[in-house]
Chains A and B, each alone.
Chain A
Amino acid sequence: MMRYNAWNLFKQGLMGQRGWTPAWRSPEPKPRYEVVIIGGGGHGLATAYYLAKVHGIRNIALLEKGWIGGGNTGRNTTIVRSNYYYPQSAAIYDFSLRLYEGLARELNYNIMLSQRGIINLVHTRHDLEGARRWVGAMNANGVDAELMTPDEIKAHIPLLDVSRSARYPVWGGFLQRRGGTARHDAVAWGYARAASALGVDIIQNCELRGFVMGSNGQIAAVDTSRGRIQADRFGMAVAGHSSVVAALAGFRLPVTSYALQAFVTEPLKPVIDCVMISFATGMYLSQSDKGGLVIGGGLDHYLSYAQRGNMPMIRNVLGAVADQLPALSRVRLLRQWAGIVDVVHDSSPILGETPIPNLYLNCGWGTGGFKAIPAGGYMLAHHLATGHAHEIAAPFALSRFTSGALIDEAAASGIPH
């Protein structure tokens, strides 16, 4: 692997930029691997990387039906944060954020992590009480959070209408300074490059067609668009398509797939230097390095595998932008799209064992998978390598839907469910 550093940049400049090599290999699939990972988004790529790096398992194939990072990893709003409520959630999301904090150095790939802070806006007396409780919980869980007054928020986000006559009056908010954004493609490409360098075979344009069951009740192989591939253990990290893959393996999941839209505007001069999300409207917004405002909102509330959104939600989200940040009301949109997210009743992920003994699961991140990529990959790798759940992942087992021990993060998941 060619290292990315100032010396190589200088040297390649002298050589006319002709010496750069592809960031990852694209080998033909071998007939057999120790571990096969289904899904080449951020979570699958991170799983492959941590399996190779932390657990020394190098005989790995990662199968992606399209191109890596081309699904939800390329469709999210790039926000990272760990402002969750329950201790179990704080443990896993803050673990993820800490991995993000060291990731560019670890992968030798600039993921453009920008810890610009994320501000949750509250608009009623009751929301403010909820926010106080939430900040208290975060601090008790060892995660940074601080309450803000409307004046402090106005100083932070001058565009925001905090006046008494505002359609959504601002009663306060809270800030997680370590929250922010990262470059989503760079996260996928950085993990892919590092995993490939450790020997992982990244196989794109390879769609799962079915599972071949062995006589012992375990999966013996997968049938794919590029042939049959055997393995000892399998991991799946396919987000919105988790139910489809589970159905191929013969079991059901407590998952419903919805379309979650996002929008980006024409590039502007810098107008907002943090991430903001409003509890009243569900609208959230940040500004990319190119200047575009990256905007998100609620789910389209019916089952969908169409990677496009519906008009009523577009109206809701953009209406909220115009109401809450009036100066932006005439900014034009460049693009609008949707990703298919795997929503679970308690808005928490499902990690670990499935009804099939050698198939392990990473799904259910719903509307917030991007921030969890390092942790999701780390946990699935741990389970695949050791055969048991990491202590941080254990509360998120599929079995909680039988035991009833749900971890209900409906509010902290950010998107109204």
Chain B
Amino acid sequence: MLLIPCPWCGRRDEIEFQCGGQSHMVRPEPYQEVSDPQWGAYLFMRDNPKGWFRERWVHVHGCHQWFNVIRDTVTHQILVSYRMGEAPPELPSRSVP
């Protein structure tokens, strides 16, 4: 069971949240100059690391706010959460087991 630290509501049970996947993806622009490979990569290619990962969560059964979390995908340890628009903290170095 994850306890997820919502920046507004504090630590809550994971069943109140939905995960929105990878954070900080930037839509390629301007539209007229985006090639098919660039657009395909934006839509479909994903970082899928074994270790620390920046991801979005929404407090869907709470305050409805989106925010970012840094979580380890092997241990599920949550390092920190931060608000949308804040500068992403550095990822800790970690050797994957």
Q: For the complex, is A417 an interface residue (Cβ under 8 Å from B)? A: no
Interface size band for A: 20 to 34
For residue A310, CB closer than 8 A to chain B, the reply is yes
Residue contact A306 to B75, C-beta cutoff 8 Å = yes
B33 CB within 8 Å of chain A: no
Chain A window 300-334, contacts with chain B (Cβ cutoff 8 Å), 1 for yes, 0 for no: 01111110001110000000000000000000000
Main secondary structure on chain A at its contact with chain B? mixed
**B47, CB-defined interface residue at 8 Å:** yes
* In the complex, A215 has a CB within 8 A of chain B: no
Considering the chains assembled together, what is the distance between the CA atoms of A207 and B55 in angstroms? 28
Smallest beta-carbon distance A396→chain B, Å: 14
Our pick among B18, B37, B48, B75 for the contact of A402 (Cβ within 8 Å) is B37
Interface residues in B28-51 by Cβ distance below 8 A to A read 36-37, 40-41, 43-50
Q: Is A403 an interface residue (CB 8 A)?
A: yes
* Chain A: CB-nearest residue to B20: A302
CB distance from A260 to the nearest CB of B (A): 15
Contact of B1 (CB < 8 Å), options: A247, A253, A254, A312:
A312
Q: Does A401 contact B (CB under 8 A)?
A: yes
B17-28 Cβ-contact flags toward A at 8 Å (1 or 0): 011010000000
Q: B19 and A301: CB pair below 8 A?
A: yes
A-B contact number at CB 8 A: 66
Option from A253, A305, A310, A403 in Cβ contact (under 8 Å) with B50 = A305
Query: Across the interface, do A256 and B21 meet the contact criterion of CB distance under 8 Å?
Result: yes
A113 vs B33: C-alpha distance when bound (angstroms): 54
What separation, in Å, do the CA atoms of A301 and B21 have in the docked complex? 9
Q: Does B9 contact A (CB under 8 A)?
A: no
Query: Are the C-beta atoms of A254 and B44 separated by less than 8 Å?
Result: yes
Contact B50 A306 (CB under 8 A): no
Contact: B36 with A253, CB < 8 Å? no
Complex CA gap A402/B21 in Å reads: 21
Bound Cα distance A256, B53 (Å): 12
Cβ < 8 Å to B, chain A residues 391-417: 401-404
* Contact across chains for B55 and A311 when beta carbons are under 8 A apart: no
Q: Mark A208-249, 1 if CB is under 8 A from B, else 0.
A: 000000000000000000000000000000000101100100
Given A303-B73, A310-B14, CB of A244 within 8 Å of CB of B46: no
With most chain A CB atoms within 10 A of its CB, the pick from B44, B45, B55 is B44
Given that A241-B50, A305-B74 are known contacts, is A403 also in contact with B55, CB under 8 Å in the complex? no
Q: Which residues of B contact A255 (CB under 8 A)?
A: 46, 48
Q: Would you call B44 and A244 a contact (CB within 8 A)?
A: no
A131 to chain B minimum Cβ distance, whole angstroms, is 28
Please determine whether A401 and B46 come into contact, CB atoms closer than 8 angstroms: no
Given contacts A252-B41, A302-B55, 19 further A-B pairs with CB under 8 A are A243-B49, A252-B45, A252-B47, A253-B45, A253-B46, A254-B44, A255-B46, A256-B21, A301-B19, A302-B19, A302-B71, A303-B21, A304-B76, A310-B1, A312-B1, A401-B43, A401-B44, A402-B36, A402-B40
